[in-house]
């Protein structure tokens, strides 16, 4: 498919959903998680470090309205943290992803 054909298809799809395009969604990029005891939490102070139990450089999961939709990497863009999307998951991949997590 040529670029012109791709653009036409994209514009056609967007025109079908024109009334929905301004709806806000929650975007979440999960850097990592960990579990702390209340005792550990009470010891936290400015400058404390929390190990997120995730290797540096590993992909972060991307969520739209609390549903995983892809993976990306954290980067700096114009002095701000940003996420570069590396993968957008299809529904079959999402199901497999959740099976591995459980």
- Each residue's pLDDT tens digit, 2-19: 888 877 777 776 677 677
Name the residue range of residue 70's domain. Answer: 23-101
Confidence at 69, pLDDT banded by 50, 70, 90? confident
Number of domains in the chain: 1
pLDDT-derived band of residue 78, with 50, 70 and 90 as boundaries? very high
Asked if residue 102 has pLDDT above 70, the reply is no
Q: Is residue 71 part of a domain?
A: yes
Query: What's the pTM value of the predicted model, to 2 decimals?
Result: 0.64
10 located within any domain? no
Return phi, psi of residue 94, to 5°.
-60, -45
The reply to whether 4 falls in a domain is no
Domain for residue 17, yes or no? no
Q: 24 vs 21, which has greater pLDDT? A: 24
CATH number for the domain harbouring residue 67: 2.30.330.10
Tokens 């990592």 correspond to 32
CA 1 to chain CA centroid, Å, is 29
């Amino acid at each position: 498919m040529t670029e012109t054909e791709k653009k036409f298809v994209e514009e056609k799809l967007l025109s079908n959903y024109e009334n929905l395009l301004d709806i806000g969604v929650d975007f979440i990029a999960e850097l990592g998680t960990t579990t702390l005891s209340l005792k550990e939490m009470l010891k936290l102070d400015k400058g404390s470090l929390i190990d997120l139990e995730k290797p540096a450089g590993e992909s972060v999961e991307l969520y739209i309205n609390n549903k995983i939709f892809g993976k990306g990497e954290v980067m700096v863009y114009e002095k701000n943290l940003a996420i570069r999307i590396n993968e957008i998951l299809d529904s079959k991949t999402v199901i497999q992803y959740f099976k591995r997590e459980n």
